[in-house]
A = this chain, B = another copy of it.
């Protein structure tokens, strides 16, 4: 793939990733864009021991523009979009309304706060948008495997680039898909959050993995994968290098984890065969999701990667894909038990979910 970094009118970075190595990218961004002041702040909650991000400049962001105003389509004379070119393969750019930004202003010292209890910092990370195709009406599940492979290469390249930026502690490529979960732009795209701290979820996972290694001498994630491959009951689909299975304590009505068979900290270490095999497997998984209720299933897919600067040998790269759709016409909501006490209640068993997914789309 050919990588062409460029600058947008307001100084944000935009990078073309082209499947054709001979592609030239020299369309300037001719829009008159105001520069955004990012006021994002991270505060440490002393009771839950977690960082929370406040991004009050985002209140003005765009909500569901009409199709002919899609900011992720290729630029036309009538619609100058975020992407100045007349066509593209995969494009990455800095989010115009980011939750995290390396340029976030210093925190306002006039806010009354007890600094012995609550630590405050500018939320200096980076939020990128990854546009998967120039075709507005396609979905990820409808991409050819070659494009899925390209997107995987882009995620890996972004993981390397973002991990090298100052202060970044974790890189999280993810896709929110479906208006049911609040997606404001339907053009197929994902996001990458480069956090200036290790996330609470990853911290918890690594705590378990550390305890398991101290006690058993082995890698917890590898053991979980080995058990699922041995038992087969919750395996949805597999190939030489990857297995997709429903976790034995699934939280969501649709919940699939995709593990490579080899332990590695992050996407950058995938070899060629593993990349090809991922593209094949992921396409099958996503098409099964769409086949479940014969509609585009809303889902969230997120890559679990090792922190940039710690526990590289303890973490285990994998992708978690889940959906709130619990029947053709019903959604699962996070209500009191989940949102208040972090106790998930699933109306389906992992074994039922796995069987449903194995049968879907066959």
Contact = CB atoms under 8 A, between A and B. Distances in A.
Interface stretch (A3-11, A29-37, A279-287, A330-338): A330-338
Interface string A166-205: 0000101011100001110000000101010001111011
A227 B117 contact: yes
Contact of A224 (B50, B117, B202): B117
Interface stretch (A53-61, A71-79, A86-94, A138-146): A53-61
A250 interface: yes
B343 A46 contact: no
Given A302-B340, A349-B41, A181 B48 contact: no
A63 B329 CA distance: 11
Interface stretch (A106-114, A157-165, A264-272, A288-296): A106-114
Say what secondary structure dominates the interface of chain A.
mixed
A351 B111 contact: yes
Nearest to A216: B116
B344 A208 contact: no
A52 interface: yes
A224 B55 CA distance: 23
Contacts of A250: 52, 54
Interface string A198-226: 01111011011100100000001101100
Q: How many copies does the complex hold?
A: 2
Interface in A299-350: 300, 302, 320, 322, 327, 330-337, 339-350
A335 B59 contact: no
A344 to B, nearest CB: 5
Among A176, A193, A201, A231, chain B packs the most CB atoms within 10 A around the CB of: A201
Given A330-B63, A333-B181, A340 B51 contact: no
Contact of A348 (B59, B114, B117, B351): B59
A352 interface: yes
Contacts of A63: 330
Contacts of A247: 45, 47
Contacts of A134: none
Category for how many chain A residues contact B: 35 or more
Contact of A204 (B49, B53, B181, B193): B49
A111 B49 CA distance: 37
Contacts of A1: none
A243 interface: no
A58 B327 CA distance: 12
Shortest 6 CB-CB distances between A and B: which pairs? A182-B333, A302-B340, A174-B336, A45-B249, A114-B227, A199-B341
Given A54-B348, A55-B346, A200-B343, 16 more contacts: A41-B349, A45-B247, A46-B208, A46-B249, A47-B208, A49-B204, A52-B251, A53-B344, A54-B349, A55-B347, A56-B349, A63-B330, A99-B345, A114-B223, A117-B224, A170-B341
Interface of A: 41, 43-56, 58-59, 63, 99, 111-114, 117-118, 170, 172, 174-176, 181-183, 191, 193, 195, 199-202, 204-205, 207-209, 212, 220-221, 223-224, 227, 230-233, 247-251, 300, 302, 320, 322, 327, 330-337, 339-352
18 contacts: A43-B248, A46-B212, A46-B220, A46-B249, A48-B208, A49-B208, A53-B343, A53-B346, A54-B348, A59-B348, A111-B349, A113-B231, A113-B248, A114-B231, A174-B336, A199-B343, A201-B343, A300-B340
